[in-house]
Each structure stands twice: as structure tokens, then as C-alpha cells.
Amino acid sequence: MEIQREIRQLSSWIYLFSEIFFAAVLGWSLYHFGSVQHRFIFESFLLLLPPTLLLLWVVPYRTFKNSRLLILFLGGGLFLGLGALLNFRTVSPAYFVALVGWCALLVSTFSTSSSPLATKLMLFLLIALGSLEAGYGLFQSLAGYDYIGDYARAQGDIASGTFINPNHFAGLLNMTLPLALGAFYAVYARKGLGGVDRSELLAWSWVVLMSCSFFGLAVLLSVSRAGTFVLITTIGLVSILMAARRSSHHHARSQLGWGLLLAIGTLGLWVGMDRLVVRMSTASSDMPRRIVLYRDVLRMIQDEPLWGAGPGMFEWKFRRYQTTDPNVLFSYAHNDYLHAAAEWGLPLAVLAWLFIFWRFFRTVRIFVRSREPWTQGISLACAGSMFALLVHSLFDFNLQIPANLMFFSAVTGLSWGLDFRHSLGREAAGRSYD
């Protein structure tokens, strides 16, 4: 018994260490422009591989009784083995981007399925990284600091954080904002159950409202049209989900989303949104070009529906299908759904997106059905964060950026780990009534 207790203690420390190490790798990846350069993609994979293998060694056997998790693990292992067989030096960097996402998903799933503490730690680590990114972007825009480290961005007063492309900065913040709202929801629920005075809850709401509004302000200052649209729709979804839970305390929380939109809009008017307004006005003129681009990508997919063009081959094979902006070399389809199908083929792309949508709907279901405050809050956080990127993927290519893919994979793994523990809890409760 003593040995088993020591082993469990050691495993708990390994879970927590793996999460902190993962957060450090994600922070390192964000610092290097989101790891878009080939060197940093490969190094991100090498850094994530050891904690992934370590967790596979300590994870309980019962975890692999989940057939979907076993398939994901074996599929990723096969993918990794194929890379080794082909010689890692000869495969496309896009191959390693996919492996980075796989490692991040497994690290997050395995660690967060171990204990509530590990789940909360992962949530707060992701919020902390998003907060640092938002703060840096606000500093660039409001203080006129046109640099990423010592690299001159030539973006003027547009917020982009450590990303070259402001759209990817907006994508990360739109994933972070729901995480902060979910954490607030959980704390608010616990305080409400503890009979805390209503005025204290109201004061706490204002603190969270003002803190979260700076995430939204940073998105507005990125001048990202898609980012602004996703910001509004994501807050709307979170508000609808909060309103769907009916109790004496949930009504006040459901109003937080609409209050947050008002606060973000007020801050935006205060600092000035002239550039965003001008950029929004060009949406109608840019839309026909984007539609032609998507039509060309569909023709490309139609020619190679099963195997696709191959990882990282989009920019080279798309040229013969391109009928818009002939002087522009499109490296991405500007739509993650079409890009995945074009490079990986329809079967793999459909399987990947079905998995993501399955996780999203399962997470929403847990939020609606759970009675435990932290389970509610974390499931709300994950659902909102996943929704943000699912919508943004219609207009951009955030999942082709390793840092954003790592962040999204961590959120997806967080939702899966929570689901795994939630299912075990229900099974244990069912056995207790037998």
C-alpha cells in the first residue's frame, strides 16, 4: 500500500510538471512568432515529445479502455513511425505541425484526466499565456511600440503581439477570452453556493468584466475583421449557454456577456477604432476575391480528393488552379477546413473535423448537465474557446500556425480530460446506488 501511494504521488507530480513544461514550450513558441519558421516547428515537436512519452508511461491503464483515445494514440504513433521511416529530414514542416498538435492534445488530455487540480492548472496556464499576449499587443498599439522583441514589424499602431499576422493574434485572444469567462463562472458559482453576499458577487463581476474587456480591446486593436466578428459571436454563444442554465444565480452571470460587449465597445470608442472601421468597409469588396479563391481550392480538392496534395504542398500545387491575384503566391487557403482537405485529402480531413465537432458538442453537453461548479466553468470555457476557432477557421488559417494549434489542441485535450473524469464520476455514482 505504501509503494502504491508513493507511485500515485509521483504520478501526480509528473502530471503537473508535464503541464508546466508544456506551458513553457507554448510560451517559447509564442515568443518565436508563433513558431512559423521551419526551425522552430521542428524544435517545438522535439520539446513536446519527451513529456508526451513520459505521460504515456505513467497514465493509468484504464485510460486506454476509452476506444477513441486508443485510436487517437495508435493513429498518432503510426503517423510518427511513418515520419521516422521516411526520414524526418525529408518530410514537410507541415508534417511536424500536425505532430505538434498531436503531442499537445495527448499531454493535455492525459494530464487533465488525472485530477481536478491538474485541470485547473492547465486552464490557468492557458489564461496566463493569453493575458501576456494581450498585454503585449496593447502595449504595441497604445504605446506605439512597433516591434516584436528587436524585430521591426512595420505595422504601425496595430496590435499583433508576438505574431507577424494580427489575425493570428486575434485568433489566440478569442480562444483565451472564453477561458477567462469560464473560470469566472466557476468561481461565481462556488461563491453563490456558499451564500456570499450579493453585493460582493456584483463587485467580483465588475472586476472580471473589466479584466476580460481588455482581451476584447486587444482584438479590436488588431484591426482583424474576422477576429472582431468571432469576438462578438463567441461572447454571444457563451452568454446563451450561461442563460440556458436556470437558477437564482445564473441569471446575473448570463448578463455578463452582454455587459462585456458593451465594455469592449466603450473602450474601443475611447481609444479610437478608425482603422478597424475603414478595414470593415472593405469587406464587401474583398469578399468576391475570397469566394473565387475558395472556388479554386474546391477544384484542387476535386482533382485529388482521397490523398490530397500532401502536407505543405498547397502553395506549390495551387498555382495551376489559381484564377485570382496572379501576382500573389497563396501559401494557405485562408480557410482551415478547405486547406486540410486540399493537403491531407477528404477522408483524413473529415475524420479530424468530426473529432473536433464531437468534442465541442460533448463539452456543451457536460456544461448543461453537470452540477459541479468547476466542471460547469471549465466545460463552458472549453466550449467557447473551441467555438471561437471553429468560426475563425472559416476565414483564416490559425490551425496552420503551430502556437495556435498547440493552444487549441490543449483546450481540446482539456475538454476531453474533463469528459473522461466526468464519465468516471458518473460510473462511480451509478455503482454506489447498486
Least confident of 61-75, 99-113, 123-137, 378-392: 61-75
pLDDT averaged over every residue in the chain: 84
Q: Which is nearest to 342 in space by CA: 369, 318, 364?
A: 318
Pick from 100, 200, 141: nearest CA to 402: 100
Residue 83 grid cell:
515520419
Is the model's pLDDT at 309 over the cut of 60?
Answer: yes
What pLDDT, in 10s, does the model give residues 244-263? 775 544 445 556 777 787 77
**What average pLDDT score do residues 96-101 get?**
91
pLDDT at 303 over 60: yes
What average pLDDT does range 226-233 have in this prediction?
Answer: 94
According to the model, what pLDDT value does residue 64 have? 62
pLDDT at residue 212, as a whole number: 85
pLDDT at 141: 92
Distance (Å, rounded) from C-alpha 151 to C-alpha 146? Answer: 9
Please say if the pLDDT value at position 161 is more than 80. yes
Provide the pLDDT confidence category of residue 24 given band limits of 50, 70 and 90: very high
Work out the average pLDDT over 318-327. Answer: 88
Any idea where the domains of the chain sit in the sequence? 2-432
Query: Is residue 173 within 8 Å of residue 215, measured between CB atoms?
Result: yes
DSSP summary character for residue 400: G
CA 371 vs CA 193, 197, 417: distances in Å: 11, 21, 17
Q: Which residue has the higher pLDDT, 207 or 121?
A: 121
Q: What pLDDT does residue 14 have?
A: 87
Q: Given this model, what pLDDT does residue 355 score?
A: 92
- Cα-based distances in Å from 238 to 22, 253, 303: 27, 10, 40
Average pLDDT in the 169-193 region? 85
Give the pLDDT score at 60. 66
Highest mean pLDDT among 50-54, 92-96, 205-209, 422-426: 50-54
Q: How confident is the model at residue 205 (pLDDT cuts 50, 70, 90)?
A: low
Confidence of residue 63 (pLDDT cuts 50, 70, 90): low
| 388, pLDDT greater than 80 | yes
- Where residue 203 falls among pLDDT bands split at 50, 70, 90? low
The three cell numbers of residue 281 are: 468597409
Q: Which is higher by pLDDT, 422 or 64? A: 422
Distances (CA, A) of 362 to 62, 132, 272, 355, 380: 20, 30, 40, 10, 11
Provide mean pLDDT across the span 5-27.
Answer: 84
Q: How far apart are the first and last CA of the chain?
A: 27
205 phi, psi to nearest 5 deg: -60, -40
Return the pLDDT at 258: 72
- What is the rounded distance in angstroms from the CA atom of residue 83 to the CA atom of residue 85? 5
431 falls in which pLDDT band (50, 70, 90)? very low
C-alpha torsion angle, residues 279, 175, 212, 251 (rounded to 10):
110
Q: How many CB atoms lie within 10 A of CB 340?
A: 24
pLDDT bracket for residue 429 (50, 70, 90)? very low
